[in-house]
Amino acid sequence: MTKLSVKEAIFNRRMLICIFTGFSSGLPLFVLYQLVPGWLRSEGVSLAEIGLFSLIGIPYVWKFMWSPLLDRFELPFLGRRRGWMILTQITLFGSIAMFGFVDPVMSIWSVAYLAAAVAFFSASQDIVIDAYRRELLSDQELGLGNSLNVQAYRIAGLVPGSLAFILADHMPWRSVFLIVAAFMLIGIIVTLCINEARIEKNAPKTIRDAVVLPFQDFINRRGLRSALEILAFLFLYKLGDSMATALQTPFFIDMGFTKTEIGVVAKTSGLVAMMIGLAVGGIVMLKLSINRALWLFGFVQIVSILGFAALAEIGNNVYALAFAMGFEYLGVGLGTAAFVAFIAQQTNPTFAATQFALFSALTALPRTFANSTTGFIVEYVGWTGFYFLCIGLAIPGMLMLLRIAPWNEKASD
């Protein structure tokens, strides 16, 4: 296959699709993990209860259970992938807006049910968008395409994590959630404008094929031992930074920052860092193998957690806040870009929905179950001790790179 020039690799319609679908995937996740916790904390809900809200992310863990249905069945409109995309995006638009009509103090369970619904629709959207992207991109484009997708995914976090908190100081939460929900229109419009990705093989013919064949294919290609090692790596690589960002907004509030400071200072620095990451990450993913990117960005990812530990000691200082947030967005964003490219590389386009859902579900385990304990950990050891614990939990995943992605071994195409 002819190697693409930098210009051809970056400036094409496929990369633009990766950016906009990444934004649509990221928005509902950050609603659940930044906006909702900050909203609950500002309304007086305890840290322990907020930490338990991480359990509403269970659909992200178990999404491989219904992903075969999305591989097997096609809705009677827009095609195999786009039909499911538009359905999940419309339901997300409605369910995010509904948060504004609930009183979290009087009806915390209503918030939990609604959050679970958003998580389910969001996980389902991710299944289809991940599969569509794998079918859309050639093997040469996996690194760059997934890097752009991840950076756009994180840029989406500026809406619920920045804009929403600025607006919350000037208008009621009902209006805030309606405005945030309206950003799902970006995904809806893109879905209506794009075409189905072309793939050589057709969808599975039966439910059994949709469930069994993706797992058989992965084990047959890798061997049982290697397959299990890869699955363990997928769980461990993002464990530390996932826990470190679980209570990010409540942490800022506990440090004494106002909602406007969180929105303007923290998130603006994050935007600058993401723009740098978008450029640096894209170029690096073009020049380096996915293996080497995992090593390089993994170290940056670990060091970025130190910024939160430093902020916990410094306290209410807007410059320290800007540095910690900017470095976190840069480090974790780059690490995630390499990680998602690695996941895509492990999938077979024929079974993209189910295999991608299985692999990404393992990465969601820490965010869902381990993160549910973060509130209790913080209340026991304090913020500084918590962040040093997160650094320690990030090390095993890096050590596994010695077997999973050796520095001197090029990632297979």
Q: What is the pLDDT of residue 410?
A: 55
pLDDT at residue 282 tops 70: no
Among residues 31, 85, 123, the alpha carbon closest in space to that of 360 is found at 123
**Who wins on pLDDT, 51 or 193?**
193
19-67 per-position pLDDT tens digit:
899 999 989 988 888 788 878 777 766 666 666 666 676 777 777 778 8
pLDDT at residue 75 tops 70: yes
Categorize the per-residue pLDDT at 18 as very low, low, confident or very high, splitting at 50, 70 and 90. Answer: confident
Q: What is the pLDDT of residue 86?
A: 94
Average pLDDT in the chain: 79
pLDDT at residue 94 tops 90: yes
Categorize the per-residue pLDDT at 179 as very low, low, confident or very high, splitting at 50, 70 and 90. Answer: very high
Among residues 371, 164, 359, 176, the alpha carbon closest in space to that of 263 is found at 164
Decide if 383 contacts 244 (C-beta within 8 A).
Answer: no
CA distances from 307 to 177, 275, 300, 325 (A): 30, 19, 11, 8
Categorize the per-residue pLDDT at 101 as very low, low, confident or very high, splitting at 50, 70 and 90. Answer: confident
Lowest mean pLDDT among 138-142, 184-188, 191-195: 138-142
Q: Does CATH number 3.20.20.140 belong to domain 6-404? A: no
Residue 102: CB atoms within 10 A of its CB come to 18
Decide if 142 contacts 344 (C-beta within 8 A).
Answer: yes
38: tokens are 């900050």
345: tokens are 């590389």
Average pLDDT over residues 67-85: 83
- The alpha carbon torsion through 303, 285, 186, 80 (nearest 10 deg) reads -120
107-125 per-position pLDDT tens digit:
777 888 888 899 999 989 9
Average pLDDT over residues 136-156: 78
Among residues 205, 126, 134, the alpha carbon closest in space to that of 349 is found at 134
The domain segmentation of the chain, as residue ranges, is: 6-404
CA 54 to chain CA centroid, Å, is 14
CA atoms of 132 and 18, how far apart (whole Å): 10
Lowest mean pLDDT among 24-28, 43-47, 178-182, 309-313: 43-47
**What percentage of the chain reaches a pLDDT higher than 70?**
84
Categorize the per-residue pLDDT at 413 as very low, low, confident or very high, splitting at 50, 70 and 90. Answer: very low
Average pLDDT over residues 259-266: 74
Q: What is the pLDDT of residue 66?
A: 81
Average pLDDT over residues 348-363: 75
**What percentage of the chain reaches a pLDDT higher than 90?**
11
Average pLDDT over residues 316-326: 84
Decide if 386 contacts 225 (C-beta within 8 A).
Answer: no
Q: What is the pLDDT of residue 4?
A: 53
Q: What is the pLDDT of residue 357?
A: 77
Average pLDDT over residues 89-103: 90
Average pLDDT over residues 224-236: 83
CA atoms of 48 and 376, how far apart (whole Å): 6
pLDDT at residue 212 tops 90: no
Highest mean pLDDT among 10-19, 34-43, 166-175, 365-374: 166-175
Name the pTM for this structure.
Answer: 0.70
